[in-house]
Amino acid sequence: MAARFGLFSQDQPAQRRLCRPGAAPSPPAGLALSDPPRPPFLGTSSVGGVDDGRLLHRHAPLFRPPFPSRLQGGPPFASALRNARSDWVAVGFIGRTSLVSVRSEVSDITFEDIQAAAQRLKGAAHRTPIATSRSLNRQAGAALFCKCENLQRVGAFKFRGAFNMINQLSEAQRQRGVVAFSSGNHAQAVALVAKLLALPAVIVMPHDSPAVKLKATRGYGAEVVLYDRHRDNREVIAKKLSDERGLTLVPPFDHPQIIAGQGTVALELLTDLPDLDVLVAPIGGGGLISGCSIAAHAMLPALRIVGVEPESANDTSLSLEKGLIVSTPLSPSIADGLLTPAPGKLTFPIMQRHVESVALVTDDEIAEAVRFLLLRMKLLVEPSGAAAVAALMAGKVPNVQGKKIGVVLSGGNVDPTPLARILTSGAGNFKDQIR
């Protein structure tokens, strides 16, 4: 596909229609779409977006969170943590779930950082299309607009953050190279960016990563170091490599430049569709939804933001409920890209301030979404990338009837054999193959 895309709607190949960027398809028949109430006007700020190689500018209301946090009404310390610039959080244990003691600080990542990232990404990243489906709209009871990051370079949104960070390294850092740890998509992103910028890359990956992701990472020229995710600590391995070789660590999500790069997903989406009611995105470590939240609430303060996690890896949901970072044990799921054991020290407070709620989906629901996206919309989306659609198809995102919903399809890298099993047998057999 070309590097610049417009919006397209597709239920069957013959029904595809292309529109120029900035033009949205008509809402589906039978849906009455209403605009959300606008908060009081607080002034304006310049909002920009990349459109066909040009930076567009307009004015948007200055951000003020328009909705109460999900923590409101909870324990006093949770309310204090939500509103504080920084706080110490408690330590404890609930069953096998550990409550991690960290100093949780709200990052100074700004909308201007995301605009600057969009400028750096011009000519490097694709402006991905937005897909719609009448069948999907009928099932969800809303108008869904799917941002197709499965069609991004390396097949995932991760290219955005990796390029934004590595592009800002000094010449001395570039000569020494970079190191990253990832289950696949971030690994491929760092490997490709390193190849594009002609610098060495070492990637720490679990030995059970999908074969397609391992092959692609090596294919971009990176050195791959394998580890056992049930026995080894990937961050310790990466830190040791960084210290021994002088490599710059490129984290998968918990870094301001990574978060700013991922925020360009929402910048593009809301430039094309400035009247969305809800944004739904998957959550692993929180880098994608954090960057998107900052951009979205700068451009559209009344927008509701909902995250999605697997039921078996609900660390962010638990963390938001308890008001502190919760680490969950590693659990099997077909959504291998969403198995980060805990949200980040930077991403967690951002999610506290911006994310309304987190929907939890089963592997069967994710599998059904993967099948629908491929068979009905002709989009190959990996299980992690299909989680947001799964939540909407299963009716797990509240108060969306008749609304306009932005949905992030975060990636499309899945092995052929597990994909065949999910298409013919459902999630159970698929899980055996992907884990």
**Is pLDDT above 90 for 59?**
no
Q: What is the CATH number of the domain that holds 412?
A: 3.40.50.1100
Please answer whether residues 117 and 133 qualify as being in contact, where contact means their C-beta atoms are separated by less than 8 angstroms: no
What is the domain range of residue 170? 157-249
pLDDT in tens, 125-163: 999 999 999 999 999 999 999 999 999 999 999 999 999
User: Would 277 be classed as within a structural domain?
Assistant: yes
The reply to whether 173 and 135 lie within a common domain is no
Q: Which of 249, 276, 303 is the last residue of a domain?
A: 249
User: Would 390 be classed as within a structural domain?
Assistant: yes
At 81, the pLDDT band (50, 70, 90 cuts) reads very low
User: Would 120 be classed as within a structural domain?
Assistant: yes
Nearest to 154 by CA among 121, 118, 185: 185
The reply to whether 135 and 237 lie within a common domain is no
Residue by residue, DSSP assigns 355-409 as: --EEEEE-HHHHHHHHHHHHHTT-----TTTTHHHHHHHTT-SSS-TT-EEEEEE
Mean pLDDT, the chain, rounded, equals 80
User: Would 50 be classed as within a structural domain?
Assistant: no
Looking at the chain, the whole-number percentage of residues with pLDDT higher than 70 is 73
Residue 183 is a catalytic residue: yes
The reply to whether 150 and 170 lie within a common domain is no
The reply to whether 318 and 400 lie within a common domain is yes
Residue 177 structure tokens: 């190279």
The reply to whether 286 and 373 lie within a common domain is yes
pLDDT in tens, 163-197: 999 999 999 999 999 999 987 899 999 999 999 99
| Mean per-residue pLDDT, 276-296 | 98
Instruction: Centre a 10 Å sphere on the Cβ of residue 92 and count the other Cβ atoms it contains.
Output: 12
Instruction: Centre a 10 Å sphere on the Cβ of residue 132 and count the other Cβ atoms it contains.
Output: 23
Please give the pLDDT value at position 426.
55
The reply to whether 118 and 237 lie within a common domain is no
The reply to whether 131 and 240 lie within a common domain is no
What is the C-alpha separation between 138 and 401, in angstroms, rounded? 10
**Is pLDDT above 50 for 73?**
no
At 33, the pLDDT band (50, 70, 90 cuts) reads very low
Nearest to 129 by CA among 28, 10, 213, 14: 10
**Is pLDDT above 90 for 52?**
no
Q: Which of 202, 230, 249 is the last residue of a domain?
A: 249
The reply to whether 142 and 235 lie within a common domain is no
pLDDT in tens, 220-231: 999 999 999 888
User: Would 332 be classed as within a structural domain?
Assistant: yes
The reply to whether 333 and 350 lie within a common domain is yes
Residue 209 is a catalytic residue: no
**Is pLDDT above 70 for 70?**
no
CA dihedral sign of residues 330, 335, 340, 343: negative
* Total-model pTM: 0.76
Residue by residue, DSSP assigns 49-72 as: EEETTEEEEEEEEPP---S--TTT
User: Would 330 be classed as within a structural domain?
Assistant: yes
Please answer whether residues 365 and 120 qualify as being in contact, where contact means their C-beta atoms are separated by less than 8 angstroms: no
The reply to whether 310 and 223 lie within a common domain is no
The reply to whether 328 and 268 lie within a common domain is yes
User: Would 203 be classed as within a structural domain?
Assistant: yes
User: Would 5 be classed as within a structural domain?
Assistant: no
Number of structural domains found in the chain:
2
* Active-site residue, from 9, 104, 183, 290: 183
**Is pLDDT above 50 for 408?**
yes
Please answer whether residues 386 and 377 qualify as being in contact, where contact means their C-beta atoms are separated by less than 8 angstroms: no
The reply to whether 150 and 281 lie within a common domain is yes
Q: Which of 222, 249, 276 is the last residue of a domain?
A: 249
